[in-house]
Amino acid sequence: MSADVDVVVVGAGAAGIAAARRLTEVGLSLAVIEAGDRVGGRAWTIRHEGLPIDLGCGWLHSAERNPWTALAPDLGFTIDRTLPPWGRQFRNLGFPASDQMAARAAFASFEQRLRQAPAGSDRAADLLEEGGTWNPYLEAVSSYINGTDLKSLSIRDYLAFADADTGVNWRLIEGYGALIARAAAGLPISLGMPVSAIEADQSRLAIVTGSGTIRAGAAIITVSTDVLASGAIRLPAALGDHVEAASRLPLGLADKVVFAIDRPDELEPDTQVLGNPHSAKTGSYHLRPFGRPLIEGFICGAAARELEAGEDMVAFAQDELAGLFGTGIRRRLKPVAQTRWAKSPFIRGSYSHALPGCTDARAILASPWDERIFFAGEACSTQDFSTAHGAYQTGLDAAEAVLSSHHSTRLGGPARRDG
């Protein structure tokens, strides 16, 4: 493949798709280069017996200001406004109501301490009470929200997200991943084509892939921070600060393990159980999402890393569910899907968090270079990072930046259509 276009977008996840939609709207010539064999990246809906299952993002966080919420009806998708079951234990199994109240209170007071953290302190684990009864619970909750443990978590970064989150969470009946894939329809996307280098000469960029080199006036790079930090894409030496910033915004890990359940009517729709409220390494299980005969386990942080590294995630989840419901449930569970996001070569994790003292890395990562190379992706958002709507907005921002800084100068390649 060899081509010459105005803009190359590297990666067809939520950010790349948002950027490409905007650039197409104004008639620029474009190539979207995706390493994987499907669009969506960390947004991925599969189907089991006709039922959509989101293996990546599932919740429209900050739903009433989420741009995907606004797009959904136009693309033929249906929004479900059922409240999330988080924080309430189905039938108080293994987690008495009084303990649930105590655990929630411990989380609220931990967040309060984070807000009052002294200026020099930015490591969330430092604000745990020594020997606190609910510390393992706080670690488990952190693993779900941040994909990581509290010792690796920047307080300022965490609060920037918490303060921006509106707490309104909706879903899509047909799947979040399916919506994002639908938004990519008609875009000039090449699949299965990892970019291995981006080179810059005086006037043009060369985007190098295994199938040829594409020349362009500008590029928008949307790959995850762990991909960027790995050096999988060789970049001009001047982008060293960006790569370093990416390494200070590592991906946490969140995995899903999904079961079909026999005799589903014995479980109330859209309820939840936490596997073990006294362990940091425990799953959270959504029972019968949308009333479907499914259980969706969410296993994150250190537990997910260990389970991806060798142990059996399905067996771990079955054991936790059997511990709560009795061993009879084992016969009723049929595994239908399991993710290994850390092992996914073009993703390498789930969502970014800033290491302590590194919250400034998001702005560094998001800054353009030489008005030619632009960055987007969830990690570039200073408040909505780790989400699909944050990714969307950064893609749009990068597209606008391309349009304003390149309008009359460097986009002058042969494929330019706007004269």
Ligand X SMILES: Cc1cc2nc3c(=O)[nH]c(=O)nc-3n(C[C@H](O)[C@H](O)[C@H](O)COP(=O)(O)OP(=O)(O)OC[C@H]3O[C@@H](n4cnc5c(N)ncnc54)[C@H](O)[C@@H]3O)c2cc1C
Which residues here bind ligand X, judged by CB under 6 A? Answer: 10-16, 33-36, 41-43, 56-59, 61, 194-195, 222-224, 227, 232-233, 254, 256, 341, 346-347, 350-351, 377-378, 386-389, 391
Number of H helices, E strands in the chain: 13, 16
Q: Tally Cβ neighbours within 10 Å of residue 63.
A: 18
The C-alpha atoms of residue 245 and residue 104 are separated, in whole angstroms, by 34
SS3 149: coil
Pairing state between β 195-200 and 205-209? antiparallel
Q: Closest separation between CB of residue 300 and ligand X, Å? A: 8
Q: In this complex, which beta carbon is closest to ligand X, that of residue 158 or of residue 351?
A: 351
Choose between 6 and 255: whose C-beta lies nearer to ligand X: 255
Could you give the CA distance from residue 20 to residue 223 in angstroms, rounded to a whole number?
A: 14
Rounded to a whole number of angstroms, the minimum distance from the CB of residue 43 to ligand X is 4
Tell me whether residue 37 is exposed, middle or buried, using C-beta atoms within 10 angstroms of its C-beta: 0 to 12, 13 to 18, 19 or more: exposed
Instruction: Considering the complex, state which of residue 31 and residue 333 has its C-beta at the smaller distance from ligand X.
Output: 31
CB 356 within 8 Å of CB 153? yes
CB of 135 to ligand X, least distance (A): 24
Tell me if residue 25 falls in helix, strand or coil. Answer: helix
Give the nearest distance from C-beta 128 to ligand X in angstroms.
Answer: 25
What is the CA 83 to chain-centroid distance, rounded?
A: 21
Tell me the one-letter amino acid at 176. Answer: Y
Q: Whose Cβ is closer to ligand X: residue 59's or residue 86's?
A: 59
Q: Based on CB atoms, which residue is closest to ligand X, 84 or 217?
A: 84
CA angle, residues 308, 311, 315, in degrees to nearest 5: 105
Q: Which is nearer to ligand X, 252 or 413 (CB)?
A: 252
Phi and psi at residue 332, to the nearest 5°: -90, -5
Gyration radius (Cα) of the chain, Å: 22
**Least gap, CB of 46 to ligand X (angstroms):** 13
CB of 57 to ligand X, least distance (A): 3
d(CA 298, CA 151): 21
Task: Find out whether 42 and 341 touch, Cβ atoms under 8 Å.
Answer: yes
Residue with tokens 């200026």: 119
**Smallest separation, CB 104 to ligand X (Å):** 21
227/373 with CB nearer ligand X: 227
Output the smallest distance, CB 1 to ligand X, in A. 13
Q: Which amino acid is at 138?
A: L
